[in-house]
Amino acid sequence: MTGLKIPFIGLRKQYHNLRQEILDATDEVLRSGQIMDANYTAEFENWLARRNNKRYAITCHSGTQALEIMADWYRSTYLDQPRVLVPSMTYPATVNAFVSAGWQVHLGDTDEQGCMDFERVDLTAIQAVVVVGLYGAPVDFPSTARNWALRLGLKNLLIMEDAAQHWLASDCNRIGTAAAISFDPTKNLNNYGNGGAIISDDSALMFHARAARNNGKPDHRDIGTNSRMSEVDCAQMLVKTRYIDQWQSRRREIARYWITRLKNSPVKCLIDINSVSEHAVNKFVIMVDQRDQVREQLTNRHIETRIHYERPCHELNLFRELPGPDILSKASALSRRVISLPIYPELTDLEVDYVVDQVLAAVTSSG
Q: Examine the domain organization and report whether 52 and 199 are in the same domain.
A: yes
- Predicted confidence at residue 333, as pLDDT, reads 94
Summarised one tens digit per residue, pLDDT across range 73-120 is 999 887 677 899 999 999 999 999 999 999 999 999 988 778 888 777
Q: Examine the domain organization and report whether 231 and 248 are in the same domain.
A: no
- The answer to whether the bond into 309 is cis (omega within 30° of 0) is yes
The reply to whether 7 falls in a domain is: no
- Predicted confidence at residue 279, as pLDDT, reads 96
Q: Which residue has the higher pLDDT, 29 or 159?
A: 29
- β-pair partners for 198: 58, 180
How does the average pLDDT of the chain come out, rounded?
Answer: 92
Summarised one tens digit per residue, pLDDT across range 179-232 is 999 999 999 999 998 999 999 999 999 999 999 999 989 888 888 899 999 999
Q: How many distinct structural domains can be found in the chain? A: 2
Going by C-beta distance under 8 Å and a sequence separation of 6 or more, which residues neighbour residue 185?
A: 9, 11, 191, 192, 193
* H-type alpha helices, the chain: 11-32, 39-51, 63-75, 92-100, 143-151, 203-212, 231-241, 244-262, 291-300, 330-335, 349-366
The reply to whether 5 falls in a domain is: no
Domain end residue (candidates: 213, 241, 269)? 241
Q: Examine the domain organization and report whether 286 and 196 are in the same domain.
A: no
- Predicted confidence at residue 359, as pLDDT, reads 98
Q: Examine the domain organization and report whether 236 and 282 are in the same domain.
A: no
The reply to whether 355 falls in a domain is: yes
Q: Whole-model pTM above 0.75? A: yes
Q: Examine the domain organization and report whether 181 and 136 are in the same domain.
A: yes
Summarised one tens digit per residue, pLDDT across range 321-352 is 999 998 889 999 999 999 999 999 999 999 99
